[in-house]
Chain A
Amino acid sequence: MNDQVPATVDLQALLREANVLDVIETLDQELVGLAPVKQRIRDIAAYLVVSKARATLGLTGAPPSLHMSFTGNPGTGKTTVALRMAEILHRLGYVRKGHLVSVTRDDLVGQYIGHTAPKTKEVLKRALGGVLFIDEAYYLYRPENERDYGQEAIEILLQVMENQRDDLVVILAGYKDRMDTFFRSNPGMASRIAHHIDFPDYSEGELYEIAALMLAKLDYRLDAGAEAALHEYIALRRTQPNFANARSIRNALDRARLRQANRLFAAATPVTREALQTISASDIRASRVFQGG
């Protein structure tokens, strides 16, 4: 068996072969900012390539534990990164299918005794061979109700995370502080998750870049006045409650597009291609954010 072990392994070749660089590149282009997250993903990709190289040289190595936790405020790109992660893991051959099954507490926990286990198993069966993404995972554990069925779901999850490590990768996601509490009260879960990745909030400049990227994808553009208005809008919106980073920006742009459509209708003259594409300052300044919330 072991007579064909090669003497050296070209790590770069392994990386190229798996086409992982493309995924990391698109990640770089499509996601603004998030430098620490991207660095961690590079680290993990490198780690996986090295583990693979070790395996080809016949060095012992338990399959690396790949369960992860993504913490960060809403709209910081956790789901998007999870999707890319599934692709990277698939290309490196650590999950067979590379699909992402995204669930919340409702999908895992039942309403009455004996309802939870089949429900959780159903979800697990669907996710096997891919990545299971549990959004707001801390809701699974409700310390105030000791008979809560969430605990049962956690136990089944733990069992599969441990026994079928080569079939499934679990990613837990949620707010940082609440996830920390969740891990403190579930040491079993904490010890099975090797990679904790924290998603920082976006800066004003990054949010503007995100807005520009979203508009470019939708074939819209801002005129000079609108650019200034958007900068002001982002600065104001960030200080207001319920700010959800990129998601708030997307919603703001959706509303601006709505107002633009209304404005074009009100003008009642034939519109040019240019006008259809342009969002002007008035479309953004009409937002209630400028009226003090």
Chain B
Amino acid sequence: MRVTQGTFSFLPDLTDAEITAQIEYALKNGWAVSVEHTDEPHPRNVYWEMWGMPMFDLNDAAGAMMEVNACRKAFPDHYIKVNALDATQGWESTRLSFIVNRPKNEPGFRVVRQETAGRSIRYTIESYAVDRPEGSRY
């Protein structure tokens, strides 16, 4: 099952030219660009690993693409996303965030039921991928 998270996630995967154009748009707005990756696909997982520091003084998308490609090389089977951070209010807030790399095989989610007091049922979801330990999921 294809994980949809962030901007453009219901579109087909972006090509490198499209990613470059999006980064260019972010830089034009004065936003910093950062790259993050994870192998924990849960939709509520907001703490992805940072791939280096956010790039605060880029002038051109080529610099960010360099990092995206380096991250893809190191983690070809992880989810990788590009964030654009806006600092105009005095803190960094995410303005744009989209997935640029995903595992070849995404096993999807199962429903987990938990019986609680009074035989009522609590539902949650869990990815089949997380059965295996971190780092060897995909």
Within 8 A of A (CB), among B42-61: 52, 55, 57-61
Residue of A nearest to B60 (CB): A129
Q: How far is B59's CA from A126's CA once the two chains are assembled, in angstroms?
A: 6
Query: Is B66 located at the chain interface by the 8 A CB criterion?
Result: yes
| CB pair A99 B59 closer than 8 Å | yes
Chain A residues, Cβ within 8 Å of B108 = none
How would you classify the secondary structure of chain A's contact residues: helix, strand, loop or mixed? loop
Chain A residues, Cβ within 8 Å of B61 = 129
Q: How far is B55's CA from A164's CA once the two chains are assembled, in angstroms?
A: 19
| CB pair B63 A97 closer than 8 Å | no
Q: How far is B61's CA from A18's CA once the two chains are assembled, in angstroms?
A: 23
Q: How far is B27's CA from A99's CA once the two chains are assembled, in angstroms?
A: 14
Residue of B nearest to A99 (CB): B59
Query: Is B121 located at the chain interface by the 8 A CB criterion?
Result: no
What is the number of contacts between chain A and chain B, taking CB atoms within 8 Å? 37
What's the least CB distance linking B65 to chain A, in Å?
Answer: 9
Within 8 A of A (CB), among B39-92: 52, 55, 57-64, 66-67
Q: Which of A118, A121, A167 contacts B60 (CB 8 A)?
A: A167
Query: Is A96 located at the chain interface by the 8 A CB criterion?
Result: yes
Q: Which of A118, A121, A129 contacts B62 (CB 8 A)?
A: A129
Query: Is A128 located at the chain interface by the 8 A CB criterion?
Result: yes
Chain A residues, Cβ within 8 Å of B60 = 96-97, 128-130, 167
Chain A residues, Cβ within 8 Å of B58 = 125-126, 128
Q: How far is B55's CA from A127's CA once the two chains are assembled, in angstroms?
A: 12
Residue of A nearest to B56 (CB): A126
Query: Is A154 located at the chain interface by the 8 A CB criterion?
Result: no
What's the least CB distance linking A254 to chain B, in Å?
Answer: 31
| CB pair A130 B63 closer than 8 Å | no
Residue of B nearest to A166 (CB): B62
What's the least CB distance linking A3 to chain B, in Å?
Answer: 24
Query: Is A226 located at the chain interface by the 8 A CB criterion?
Result: no
Query: Is A92 located at the chain interface by the 8 A CB criterion?
Result: no
Q: How far is B63's CA from A168's CA once the two chains are assembled, in angstroms?
A: 10
Chain A residues, Cβ within 8 Å of B52 = 118
| CB pair B63 A124 closer than 8 Å | yes
Q: How far is B27's CA from A130's CA once the two chains are assembled, in angstroms?
A: 15
Chain A residues, Cβ within 8 Å of B55 = 125
Q: How far is B69's CA from A164's CA once the two chains are assembled, in angstroms?
A: 14
Residue of B nearest to A125 (CB): B63
| CB pair B57 A126 closer than 8 Å | yes
| CB pair A130 B62 closer than 8 Å | no
Q: How far is B57's CA from A121's CA once the two chains are assembled, in angstroms?
A: 13
A binding-site residues for B, Cβ under 8 Å: 96-97, 99, 118, 121, 124-130, 164, 167-168
* Known contacts A124-B63, A128-B62; 11 further A-B pairs (Cβ under 8 A): A96-B62, A97-B60, A125-B55, A126-B57, A126-B63, A127-B59, A128-B63, A128-B66, A129-B61, A129-B63, A164-B62
B binding-site residues for A, Cβ under 8 Å: 52, 55, 57-64, 66-67
3 A-B pairs closest in CB distance: A129-B60, A125-B63, A128-B62
Q: List 20 A-B contacts (CB under 8 A).
A: A96-B62, A99-B59, A124-B63, A125-B63, A125-B67, A126-B57, A126-B59, A126-B63, A128-B59, A128-B60, A128-B62, A128-B63, A129-B61, A129-B62, A129-B63, A130-B59, A130-B60, A167-B60, A167-B62, A168-B62
